[in-house]
Amino acid sequence: MAKENEDTEYTIVTERDDKMISPIGSKSTVKIGKFLNPCVISFAEAHEVPLLPLLAETISYELAKWPSKIYFKGFRIPREKWKKWVDQLTPSCRLKWNQIIIADGIVSSVYKIELDKALIIGLAELWCPETNTFVFPWGEATVTLEDMLILGGFSVLGEPVTSPLTGELVKISDELHKERRALHKEKARKASEGAWINRFMGSNSELEHVAFLSLWLSRYVFPDHPDGLIRKEVFSVAVHLAQGTTIALAPAVLASLYANLTSLKQQVLDSSKLDLSVSKFDVSFSIWGPFQLLQIWAWEHFPPLRPKSPNSLTLGEPRIARWNNLKSKSKLPIVRSTLKNLENFQWRPFVATLNNWPCPLFYKEREELFDVRPENDELQSFFRCLRACEIFALNGSVEQYLPHRVARQFGFDQEIPGKFIGANATWELAWKAYEKSTRNGKLYIRSRFLESSSVTTRYQEWWKQSMSIREVAIKAILEEQGRSKKSSSNCSDAASKYPSQSNKNKFQSSGDEDSTVYKHSSSKPYNKSQDSSEGEDNDLTLSAKFKMQQQATSNRYTTSALSEEISKKRKSSTMESVDQKIAEKQKMHGNSIDNPITIR
């Protein structure tokens, strides 16, 4: 079995004749389709969207609501001193930055991206933590490693962000720690970003470059609590980069975004359970993470939601410069309406010609089959973008990356997504699988002029039925939760009306006399695999406090009434007949779907 897994691990594209529906037509035709693995042809083997309510669905049943204030701490306004420091180091360091794929990321940090809160909220309402995708009525889409490479300027290849330091590199890190501790002893008693700049900018010392990278990583790449301070967790990454070692920042940043989207959803649910009177408490919270990349992703993929006139690029500018200082203050109802319509979504925005922006080599004019050799960094990068795997953030938390669910974003055709089986354990195991090359394999690159791909008729039918079944299940779940909420008279109601002293301590001033800010007791992103409570403290977090109530509710939605409704849906479906008809059509054209052509 182990050998079989090893042999099939790099089979990322399957090619076969199939019955397809193009994006611009409603009629189906049999033609060659190219699908990302794992994909399946049986409804029973599909990796379904879980029967768990999206935030949008919970809100529609008035079981959750957005707080009056959310502070997106990951949106960083570039400071003038930082811009000056970038300008000072660019002449001497630009070549090295280019070599280790951080030049665009550093230059991007001097641009200002104006927050469009309604846009991020609208997307968060459709976030599915179990698949790390946005679930739209018309299908799934998500932020991918390709987006991290193109929009963030981060490398997909290189060493992991958790790489340890050895030898002389340890001494450099020790010096950074020493400098950080020294700032803590000064009047401000903290290693603030401003104090860090004053200490190192223009010093021409051996530590200046690594200190510069430490600030860049702390503020612009891995923003986290506490705000405005230099994070010691980034020192090892900064030392490696300063020494010319390429670090795979793209998967780490993407994992952080996934985790923080999940955290955002969870915090909305938790704050909604407080059910506090607005006249007494203005429930708010802060969220970290690189949400400006999510907003730029949305602007690229949803043209109706972007600013009307993107900036023209000058030669050498990163793509993010298109959105510098532009405003697009969307209204949430308009965002929700726009996201529901497939016609508003652009699957491959990066393949279009853009003046003064060099198109990556893996965006080819013609469809071609390439040898993907280990020394070919461009194709290796694109290969990593296409392969289902596990990625992890700077803190080692592991997330699933499932590009086969959104194959059309890479120019491939969409088939029913199969289940990805990951190690689901440590970052070490995740990295071991991630870093493997293609072993001189071959890979199809679709034409850049193919702006949108096709779906199989089987996928279209599966998605339609899945959404129909899901609608029944979610309705039953949320109606039961609503009844449970109304009939509940236990500590949930008592806590909401008469908060205990320990709960009151969770509310801290936001600096606004008319509001308070709700802050979770942990600054770490919400971890799906762990309970949100920490230690033995009786001052439980919101998730822990309502865990028993949530579990009781989840047990109720397996009632006979729900089971019967779902069973009726399945019995009335044409799952088997659809598969049989398509199989017959395939065989008529000389290529059975039971024996697909596979590209390794």
Residues 530-576 pLDDT 10s: 433 333 333 333 343 334 334 433 443 444 455 455 545 544 444 44
Token duo for residue 227: 């705000």
Q: In the structure, what pLDDT confidence band is assigned to residue 188 with cuts at 50, 70 and 90?
A: low
Residue 401 lies in a domain: yes
User: What is the model's pLDDT at position 518?
Assistant: 32
CA distances from 300 to 15, 58, 95, 322 (A): 29, 28, 29, 10
* Spatial contact of 440 and 373, defined as CB atoms under 8 Å apart: yes
Mean pLDDT of 352-371: 85
Residue 403 lies in a domain: yes
Point out the least confidently predicted range of 144-148, 233-237, 359-363.
359-363
Q: What is the percent of the chain with per-residue pLDDT over 70, rounded to a whole number?
A: 76
Coil, helix or strand for 428? helix
Residue 446 lies in a domain: yes
Token duo for residue 12: 């990322």
Question: CA-CA distance, 376 to 533, in Å (whole number)?
Answer: 46
User: What is the model's pLDDT at position 592?
Assistant: 39
Q: Is the pLDDT of residue 236 over 90?
A: yes
Q: In the beta sheet, which residues pair with residue 30?
A: 19
User: What is the model's pLDDT at position 2?
Assistant: 36
* Domains in the chain, number: 1
Identity at 223, one-letter amino acid code: P
Residues 489-529 pLDDT 10s: 455 455 545 444 444 333 333 333 333 233 333 334 434 44
Residue 52 lies in a domain: yes
User: What is the model's pLDDT at position 451?
Assistant: 61
CA angle 257, 194, 290 (to 5 degrees): 10
Average pLDDT, the chain: 81
Token duo for residue 554: 């989840």
Q: In the structure, what pLDDT confidence band is assigned to residue 143 with cuts at 50, 70 and 90?
A: very high
Residue 558 CB neighbour total at 10 angstroms: 11
Question: CA-CA distance, 235 to 470, in Å (whole number)?
Answer: 46
pTM for the whole thing?
0.82
Question: CA-CA distance, 386 to 443, in Å (whole number)?
Answer: 10
Q: Is the pLDDT of residue 257 over 70?
A: yes
Residues 432-485 pLDDT 10s: 889 876 555 677 788 787 766 899 999 999 999 999 999 999 999 999 988 887
* Spatial contact of 58 and 478, defined as CB atoms under 8 Å apart: yes
Residue 15 lies in a domain: yes
Domain residues for the domain of 409 are 2-61+359-463+570-599
Question: CA-CA distance, 35 to 48, in Å (whole number)?
Answer: 17
Residues 94-110 pLDDT 10s: 999 999 999 999 999 99
Residues 292-318 pLDDT 10s: 999 999 999 999 999 999 999 999 999
Residue 307 lies in a domain: no
Q: Is the pLDDT of residue 4 over 50?
A: no
Q: Is the pLDDT of residue 178 over 80?
A: yes
Q: Is the pLDDT of residue 578 over 50?
A: no
Residue 433 lies in a domain: yes
Residue 589 lies in a domain: yes
User: What is the model's pLDDT at position 53?
Assistant: 96
User: What is the model's pLDDT at position 441?
Assistant: 66
Nearest to 208 by CA among 198, 196, 200, 217: 200
